[in-house]
Amino acid sequence: MKKIRKAVIPAAGFGTRFLPQTKAMPKEMLPIVDKPIIQYIVEELVDAGISDIILVTGYHKRTIEDHFDATNKDLLENLKAGGEKKRPLLEQIENISRMANFVYVRQKGPYGNGTPLYNVRHLIGDEPFIYTWSDDFIVADPSRFKQMIEIYNKYGCSVLGGVRAGRDEDYNRYGYAGGDEAEPGIMNVSTLIEKPGKENAPSDLATVSGFIFTPDIFGYLNQTLENLEEGKEFYYNDALKLMLEDGKKIIAMEIKGGKFYDTGNKMEYMKTVVEFALKHPEIKDRFREFLKDINLN
């Protein structure tokens, strides 16, 4: 069984929920205190042993490429001139470009979350890989990707990460898996339903945030694309359903001890920023006092 060493992050969307801020800045680069959202995802991937990170972007996402590129000479000189005071900052930014091998692919094809996958099939080859979003993540210890890789190594099949639905409205926001329990928190998937509503959901396990796919998904993506009706969206879920019809094993798992952060809309983004600010070593105490003293009238 091949080791998982590659990850794919789709990042070509326009971030219209955050306009006008995202007119010139990719939503993936919105800061959570002092670090862009996408860097949290990249750091988690690297910590789980991923060495090659493929970002599927658009013409308006050059800022992401710049962020993970080698540091600008002028900025380096400025930080070096700051002496010991700015040394931690210097080390942080120099490490960003060294974290992994970054590859950028421009997205092209029909609208839908299957297109970024289809665009990278030549770079993945016959290897299993992680497919994860650029604007949400799960905080857990061990990390979600470490937990997922452990399950992949045990079962040798595609793995869908997930969290339990916490509110009724969650059933209208995410996809859900149904099937038999293989072990506590681990499901042999027999059905996948996107945004089913609570009454039609096959379980309370939402498949969100990150997945491990075996390379045979690309053949099923081809089938899905060949049969795609004009004007319809190209979904990877349709390829997964074809895999299930062919008897392919797919596991859905609850990330143990995980908390899901969805920064793809204003309200959830602001909640995430506040929560992370309350944990930030430089500002947490002062920020907590500010929140206590703030006058909302």
Domain residues of the chain, as ranges? Answer: 6-264, 265-297
* Kind plus residue range of the DSSP H or E element containing 92: helix 87-96
CA 64/CA 38 separation, integer angstroms: 8
Contact 195, 172 (CB under 8 A): yes
What is the mean pLDDT, run by run of 10 residues, along the chain of 297 residues?
94 93 94 96 97 95 93 85 84 90 95 95 96 94 97 97 93 95 96 94 94 97 92 93 97 96 94 97 95 79
Q: Closest Cα partner for 48 from 177, 122, 153?
A: 153
The pLDDT of residue 296: 66
CA 203/CA 251 separation, integer angstroms: 14
CA 186/CA 33 separation, integer angstroms: 34
The pLDDT of residue 1: 80
The CATH class given to the 6-264 domain equals alpha beta
Question: Any idea which residue has 């909302």 for tokens?
Answer: 296
Instruction: Quote the pTM value.
Output: 0.94
Contact 56, 109 (CB under 8 A): no
What helix, strand, coil percent values describe the chain, rounded to 5? Answer: 40, 25, 35
Q: Closest Cα partner for 264 from 144, 143, 160, 137?
A: 137
CA 26/CA 29 separation, integer angstroms: 5
DSSP state of 284: H
Contact 255, 246 (CB under 8 A): no
The pLDDT of residue 297: 56
The encoded tokens of residue 64 equal 């992401």
